[in-house]
Structure 1
Amino acid sequence: MKNMRKIKNNIPNLITLVNLTLGVIAILMSVSGTYGYYSLPASFVILAASIADRFDGSLARKMNATSELGKQLDSLSDMVSFGIAPAIIAWKLNFFQLGFVGYLIILVFPIAGAYRLARYNITTVDDFYRGLPIPIAAVLLTMFNIYYHFEIMSNRHTIIHSIVVAVVIILLSLLMVSKFRLKKI
């Protein structure tokens, strides 16, 4: 009976670890191969991670299996899958040829995401998010990554595209660290 309770309590954490695993796979895929070739499948892996992330917390609440460990594990997984992975894909598609400047542009997103996650972890829970949640920001950036993958593969990508992505990254980062309130669903 005690072992069954332990297993039940860890099911949401296993789903969180699936999120983390998918984030690592997306990173590995995005840095593999030639210029942007694996960015499309890596982007879809991030979208799959967002599905796992959507269900781990709600499942934990339904199963009465929430824990501080689960909360911290979720944030660490989110940092990899939604902070680092989509940023690396955007870097590979738009900024890797810019060297140090490309690093500076892309660093804004995971830094803002880390700040957002840390602030969330120390804030008392209510019915609102403060700032844009990192999974939402990541899905939006991933949509741009998917679009620009097709632009690159059809040789229509220009410097304007990279400028647009840089602006999107900055805007999403500002929204993540902002204090506007967003109703939880």
Structure 2
Amino acid sequence: MWSAQDVARDRVRRQANGLDVAAVAERVAEAAVRERETAEQLRGNGSFYAFEMDRERLAVIWLAQHAEWQRVRDLMTATGWSVYEPEQDAQGSVWAREREERLAGAPAAQAASGARGRKEAEGADELRAEVRLSAASGRLVQTVAGRTGLRPSEVLAQLAERIVVGEDGTVSVPPFTPSW
């Protein structure tokens, strides 16, 4: 999965191609507005449409896009380019190559990870997982971990050990106090 910076850099690189400094400046202003709006919506001062992505990720992407549009504008101004050409942007080209390399290597890394997972599952009766939590959920887990002296992974493991699946398929965790 691409980071917010990867998404922003790729979008800006494609969208800026052939734009002059004035058009890029307009995109900087638009990105600033979008960054502010998504930050306000994230704080609960606005509404998101149901089909939009995770609020936090969208806010971070607009923050990154704003920064990238500014970088392109500053580069064009400093170098005197009349239009943006991605191939001339040395830093942007390095980032694009890095994204392509990561993308090309992803299937091999995923296959290796799957093979390791199958091997571990055959040899042990445990599950190793990488979990991505929303910022709000992550803060809660870290708060609990900080209060109990546990690592966040230990808090999640204790939560998982207490999962109860109801007859109707609902999943819950009865109240408990995490401990060593």
TM-score, normalising length from structure 2?
0.31
For the pair shown, the structure with the greater C-alpha radius of gyration is 2
Say which structure is richer in helix.
Answer: 1
TM-score, normalising length from structure 1?
0.30
